[in-house]
Amino acid sequence: MSGGIVISSPFAGRLNRTDRLMLQVILALIPGTLAMVWYFGWGVLINMALASAFALGCEALVMRLRGRPILPAIGDLSALVTALLFAITVPPTLPWWLTFLGIAFAIFIVKQLYGGLGYNPFNPAMAGYVFLLVSYPVEMTNWLAPAIPEVLAAHDLATLSFVDSLRLILTGTLPPGLTWDAVSAATPLDEMFSQLDHNSTIPEILQSPLWGDFGGRGWEWVGNWFLLGGLWMIWRGVISWRIPVAVLAGILLPAGLFWLFDPQAFPFPAFHIFAGGTILGAFFIATDPVTACTTPKGQLIYGAAIGFITFVIRHWGGYPDAVAFAVLLMNIAAPMIDHYTQPRVFGHGRREET
Amino acid sequence: MASPPHASQSRPGPRPLWTFHGGLHLPDEKALSSGVPLATAPLSPLLVIPLQQHIGAPAKPLVGVGDRVGKGQLIGEAQGAMSATVHAPSSGTVVAIEERPVPHASGLSAPCILIETDGRDAWAELPPPLGPRPDPEALRERIRWAGIVGLGGAAFPSSVKLRVPAGQRIHTLILNGAECEPYITCDDRLMRDRPGRILAGVRLLRDLLQAEACLIAVEDNKPEAIAALRQALATGEDLYGIELVVIPTLYPSGGEKQLIRILTGKEVPSRGIPAQIGILCQNIATAAAIAEAAEEGKPLISRIITLTGRAMGQPRNLEVALGTPIKDLLALAGGLGSGLRQLLIGGPMMGFACDDLGMPVTKGVNCLLALSAAEAPDPGPALACIRCGACAEACPASLLPQQLYWHARARDLDQARAYHLFDCIECGCCAVVCPSHIPLVQYYRFAKTECLAQEREKRQAEHARQRHEAKTARLERLEEERKANLRKKKEALAEKPAPARASASAPAAAARTMPLADASAPADSAPVLPAGGGAGSGAGEPGAPSGTVTALAGSPGNPGTPGTPGAPGTPTADTSAVDPKKAAIAAALQRAAEKKAALARQGQAPKNTADLTPAQRRQVEAAEARRRELQAAESASSGREQP
């Protein structure tokens, strides 16, 4: 008998481990990430590598400053998940120092200042993203065009090689002979809502070769692959179905109602699912256990509210996408929702007399 | 409900089953030990029999050191309403009655009777069999006598459980053969090897409780046990109303409240007992023990124990005499392997560590589990809670273990209670699924203990407060009564001042005639008596003799009597007029003086001054002189104070 003896029941082996849960989240990100690399080039991977290195460095530094063991904090992989989610949501051409700034904000201020893993009220990746979005809106909306021949041809666009991407991220210089206009394109959400602002009708907008079956070309496939990863996580029991389903329902329901009411001014509901960060948000971001609701009923409310707020901001707000804002808004409401949605405890009446 | 035996065998329609929230599919590990047929453990040379092997008060020893006992002899009588008897598991000699470590989660020692067995295993005289249809009271008494307790592990005295309160009726009897905890197979083995005995017990319980339905619940991971029971049900007689129900394997379906929910869809109210909803639960092994006690007159002196785990030499089940030291049993199961990490009493989910191999087996011990490092790997240090909610998903009581954890950790006991801390059954599901390996159940136990300690303190404080308040109220009441009396007497004085003054100035001898100073009335209780014993005695109340009134009215210590006519001149009269106590003293002094005078007349000196030394006599005379001086000065000063 050696150290590490359990002194009180249960003595049975533990069934889960935090690092394994985090690892499964990372694995579930793979298909969607590959699709993003496919459509948006090497910048995605370069950003991921940079963000991961920064995040682990920041985490280690904070733990050192706090006088806590560094390895368990790094080893729980939570900083890595934050870094990867952050890298996926920012444009693939983001200058390295912005990535650093966003990650540093996420790890130092949003996560560790509140006490580290488990204590942060806000999703660090989304807080870092929003911090950059409101501070550096231009850099944060410079999206590349998806590498699809029709799209590239229609707008006379070029793609970036690995070296070009690396140089762009590290030095901020485009390859000789290329301008921003030659590589970037509006995201489908941007395109849709700026056109709507110009009083174009949906059928007119959809004339562009940017559009695929539901959302933007390329974008919708990225969404599909993330969806695959998300479903795998539900199957593995890493996340519950409640939050993703509620987010999607929360966005589809109002979208469907408004579309029925005026199909000229409101896009087909599925557009909302396959545009922007809806899938990623529903399966990977809103489900962050630390910042989400934990009661079953609370999770449904929390998810539906995220979906609804996303829809509202997309249509009537100033930002093209809104998943990050919706998530942050609901993060801070989660404890209250949890409080009011406690499940009925075994042996207690339907209505608590307390 | 009176379905014939064949109906329960073929199960005409599947019985509707309910589910409970949460629960876990754990690796059951039952095959380790379930395959070996039941055997009886040989007798140990020394049996250690704790006087408390059950929930409730410990039994009172009926034997002394040196006494010879027979097998089955009553050696400990139940004490109080919640207790159980203890019997000698074999014949031999009582060699000691002392504190010994006993199998209990607290790890504390408790009084035990130590019996050195003589190897003859000779039975003491046993009560006669009760017959197939015993009188309910006789059966209850037999169960109480036999010291039968719940053998599922809780060791709740069965006779207490079976005494259904008036006004409650048990319509459903549930026999718990779920045995949901991993590794443990003692009930499985009992069902396989002695199904007839179990059914005999069920029959007795059914008749005792007049239950309409008796459901024997077995988890579906025990097909052999199910087959054996089915066979016994098909061939046995007088088994109407008894039904075998196979339930899905899901930990903790064998928890009483969970099992009731599965079988009936009903929930036992929080902090309530199943009898409140007309249900009673007994373990199948308890039923078998009841059958043995009724049909053969044998008390509970042995039980089946699973010895298992990958660090156990030869996992198996043994029928063991209660009191057998654990180390003797381990030898019978091939000893502990070198890979041992922890030896547990009970299962891996709810058991506790065995840290002394000399501890005896008791009625509540169902399993000795030797876990290897592979079975119970070091969970490592607890990490931060990531609020994943896996605990809440697993909780069979629908609690929010995570919130409970936060509040228990912060010692916020009120909040922990608000989150229903006391509905936690400590099944361990939450801790097992926690990815951060937080010992959640340990936190809840801590919080429960704290709550109970707090409650005890509160109760004590409340008790002290009540005592203090009662005392204050009593003193106030006495004071009120005294004042009321004074008022009354003052008024009486005002009505007839002249006789009052006359009475007040009467010599001390008059005091002897006063009711208060009467020898029959104790002097210290006198102030209460004239008030008629009640605070409501008003000024107009009759019956208080005027003499008393007068005597009390002159009390010098009372500030509320400024207008009282002055006290008379002589000190003796003053004393008698002041208060009945003083009057009594004065009367006594008077009597003593008279007696002294009478003695002097007879030419006898008072005894206590008879043989004083000259020095003492001088001292006495000096004191007498001082006293006289003081008296003179006092009478002079009181004379000046006269208006």
pLDDT tier for residue B604 given thresholds of 50, 70 and 90? low
DSSP letter assigned to residue B516: T
3-class SS of residue B331: helix
Which helix (DSSP H) or strand (DSSP E) does residue B633 occupy? helix B614-641
Average pLDDT over residues A46-56: 96
Instruction: Answer whether residue B576 shows pLDDT above 50.
Output: no
Give alpha helix (H) positions in chain A. 18-40, 43-65, 70-75, 78-89, 96-104, 124-135, 137-140, 149-155, 162-171, 180-183, 188-197, 202-205, 219-236, 242-261, 270-274, 278-280, 296-316, 323-340
φ and ψ at residue B264, rounded to 5 degrees = -120, -15
Assess whether pLDDT exceeds 70 at residue B525. Answer: no
Name which of B30, B386, B417, B448 to mutate to probe chain A: the one with the most chain A Cβ atoms within 10 A of its Cβ. Answer: B386
- How do strand B68-69 and strand B92-101 relate by DSSP bridges? antiparallel
Identify which of A5, A295, A348 has the shortest CB distance to residue B342.
A5
Structure token pair of residue B625: 């002189």
With 80 as the cut, is the pLDDT of residue B184 above it?
yes
Token reading at B534: 């009640």
pLDDT at A210: 74
Higher pLDDT, B28 or B496: B28
Pairwise CA distance, residues B406 & B428, whole Å: 17
The pLDDT tens digits for B86-102 are 999 999 999 999 999 99
Q: In angstroms, rounded to a whole number, what is the distance separating the alpha carbons of residues A78 and A111? A: 10
Angle subtended at Cα A227 by Cα A278 and Cα A55, rounded to the nearest 5 degrees: 70
**Chain A residues touching residue B414 (CB < 8 angstroms):** none
Give B247→chain A minimum CA distance, Å: 20
Residue B637: DSSP 8-state? H
Q: Does the pLDDT of residue A351 top 80, yes or no?
A: no
pLDDT at position A221:
86
Judge whether residue B615 has pLDDT over 70: yes
Q: Do A12 and B396 touch (CB under 8 A)?
A: no
Distance from C-alpha of B640 to C-alpha of B633, rounded to nearest angstrom = 11
Q: How many angstroms separate the CA atoms of A123 and A116, rounded?
A: 12
pLDDT for res B513: 46
Residue B10 clears pLDDT 80, i.e. is over it: no
**Above pLDDT 90, what percent of chain B?**
58
- Most B CBs within 10 A among A7, A11, A299, hence the mutation to make, goes to A11
**Beta-carbon contacts of residue B381 (< 8 Å; ≥ 6 apart):** A72, B437
Q: What percent of chain B has pLDDT over 70?
A: 82
Listing DSSP states for B474-504 in one string gives HHHHHHHHHHHHHHHHHHHHHHSHHHHHHHH
Predicted local distance difference test score (pLDDT) of residue B324: 95
B-chain residue closest to A345, CA distance: B398
Q: Per-residue pLDDT averaged across A171-186, rounded?
A: 79
Do the chains contact at B267 and A72, CB–CB below 8 Å? no
Using a CB-CB cut-off of 8 Å, the residues of chain B touching A4 are 378-380
Distance CA B271, CA B269 (A): 6
Say which residue, B513 or A169, is predicted with more confidence: A169
Q: Which residues of B touch A343 (CB under 8 A)?
A: 21, 392, 398, 400
Q: State residue B472's pLDDT score.
A: 93
The pLDDT score that the predictor gives to residue B371 is 93
With 0-12 CB in 10 A as exposed, 13-18 as middle and 19+ as buried, what is A257?
exposed
Asked if residue A285 lies in contact with residue A125, where contact means CB atoms within 8 angstroms, the answer is yes
Q: Is A16 on the interface with B (CB under 8 A)?
A: yes
Between A158 and B302, residue with greater pLDDT: B302
Give yes or no for residue B464 having a pLDDT over 80: yes
The interface predicted TM-score (ipTM) is 0.86
Residue B51's Cβ-side half-sphere holds a number of Cα atoms within 13 Å equal to 22
Superfamily of domain B5-372: NADH-ubiquinone oxidoreductase 51kDa subunit (3.40.50.11540)
What is the pLDDT, as a whole number, of residue B322? Answer: 95
Q: For A19-47, what is each residue's pLDDT tens digit?
A: 999 999 999 999 999 999 998 889 999 99
Is A138 part of the contact surface with chain B (CB cutoff 8 Å)? Answer: no
- Is B435 close to A119, i.e. CB distance below 8 A? no
CB contact under 8 A, B349 and A10: yes
Encode burial over B575-584: b for 16+ CB neighbours within 10 A, e otherwise.
Answer: bbbbbbebbb
Question: What would the DSSP string read from start to end of B552-589?
Answer: HHT-TT-TT-TTSPPPPSSHHHHHHHH-HHHHHHHHHH
3-state secondary structure of B89: coil
Question: Cβ contact (<8 Å) for A1 and B340?
Answer: yes
Contact A291, A118 (CB under 8 A): no
The reply to whether B440 touches chain A by the CB within 8 Å rule is no
The answer to whether A3 contacts chain B (CB < 8 Å) is yes
CB contact under 8 A, B268 and A347: yes
Tell whether A342 is within 8 A of chain B (Cβ). yes
> Which residues in chain B have Cβ-Cβ distances shorter than 8 Å to A18?
383, 386, 435-436
Neighbours of A224 (CB within 10 A): 16
The yes-or-no verdict on residue A227 having pLDDT over 80 is: yes
Q: Which residues pair with B77 in a beta bridge?
A: B60
pLDDT band at B30 (very low <50, low <70, confident <90, very high): very high
Interface contact A343-B21, CB threshold 8 A: yes
Of B346, B379, B420, the CB nearest to A6: B379
In degrees rounded to 5, what are phi and psi of residue A212? Answer: -100, -140
Domain ranges of chain B: 5-372, 390-438, 473-604, 611-638
In tens, the pLDDT along A106-140 reads: 999 999 999 989 899 999 999 999 999 999 988 88
Which of A345, A353, A354 is best to mutate for the B interface (most B CBs within 10 A)?
Answer: A345
Residue B422 has pLDDT above 60, yes or no: yes
pLDDT of residue B607: 58
- First-residue to last-residue Cα distance in chain A: 47
Nearest to A128 by CA among A93, A85, A170: A85
pLDDT of the residue at B605: 57
Q: Is A14 close to B26, i.e. CB distance below 8 A? A: no
pLDDT of residue A135: 93
Evaluate if residue B175 carries a pLDDT over 90. Answer: yes
Place B165 in a pLDDT band, splitting at 50, 70 and 90. confident
pLDDT above 70 for A144: yes
Quote the mean pLDDT of chain B: 83
Q: What's the rounded mean pLDDT across residues A272-294?
A: 91
Indicate the SS3 state at residue B74: strand
CB B38 within 8 Å of CB B189: yes
pLDDT for the residue numbered B499: 52
Query: Do the Cβ atoms of A12 and B376 come within 8 Å?
Result: yes
More confident: B601 or B264? B264
Distances (CA, A) of A312 to B283, B293, B340, B370: 59, 74, 61, 60
Residue B278 pLDDT > 50, yes or no?
yes
Q: What is the mean pLDDT of chain A?
A: 88
Instruction: Tell me what the mean pLDDT of segment A333-349 comes to.
Output: 91
One-letter identity of residue B82: M
Dihedral sign for Cα atoms in the order B626, B632, B634, B637: negative
Which residue, chain included where needed, has tokens 């037999």?
B142
Q: Does residue B26 sit at the A interface (CB-CB below 8 Å)?
A: yes
Rg over alpha carbons for chain B, rounded to the nearest Å, is: 39
Structure token digits, residue A194: 């700026």
| Nearest beta carbon to residue B386 from set A15, A18, A296 | A18
Residue partners of B601: CB distance under 8 A and separation at least 6? none
Q: Are A152 and A159 in contact (CB under 8 A)?
A: yes
**Structural contact between residues B188 and B34, judged by C-beta atoms closer than 8 angstroms:** yes
Q: Check CB contact of A15 with chain B, cutoff 8 Å.
A: yes
Q: How confident is the model at residue A321 (pLDDT cuts 50, 70, 90)?
A: confident
**Burial state string for B209-240 with b = 16 or more CB within 10 A and e = fewer than 16:** bebebbbbbbbebbeebbebbbebbeebeebb
Q: Give B-chain residues touching A345 at CB under 8 angstroms.
A: 270, 397-399, 420, 423
Confidence class for position A51, pLDDT limits 50, 70, 90:
very high
The least confident of A87-96, A197-206, A262-271, B407-416 is: A197-206
- In chain B, which residues have their Cβ closer than 8 Å to the Cβ of A9? 346, 348-352, 426, 428, 441
Residue B545 pLDDT greater than 90, yes or no = no
Q: Write phi, then psi, for B419 (nearest 5 degrees).
A: -90, 20
d(CA A270, CA A268): 6
Q: The tokens 């409401």 sit on which residue? A: A333
Question: Assign residue B311 a region: left if phi > 0, alpha if psi is -120 to 50, beta otherwise?
Answer: alpha
Terminal CA-CA length for chain B: 100
Mean pLDDT on B171-185: 94
Tokens representing B150 are 């719940």
Range with the poorest average pLDDT among B92-101, B162-171, B342-351: B162-171
The predicted pLDDT at position B361 comes to 94
A135 Cβ neighbours under 8 A, 6+ residues apart: none
Name the strand (E) or helix (H) holding B172. Answer: strand B172-177
Cα(A188)–Cα(A182) distance, integer angstroms: 17
Ranges of H-type helices in B398-439 = 401-409, 413-418, 429-433
Question: How far is it, in rounded angstroms, from Cα B148 to Cα B529?
Answer: 58
Mean per-residue pLDDT for B560-565? 43
Q: Do B386 and A118 touch (CB under 8 A)?
A: yes
Cβ-based burial of B588 (10 A; exposed 0-12, middle 13-18, buried ≥19): middle
- Tell me which residue has tokens 């000399």: B358
Query: Is B400 in the A-facing interface, judged by CB distances under 8 Å?
Result: yes
pLDDT band at B13 (very low <50, low <70, confident <90, very high): low
Contacts with B560 (C-beta within 8 Å, 6 or more apart), sequence order: B483, B486, B487
Q: Output B90 or A164, whichever has higher pLDDT.
A: B90
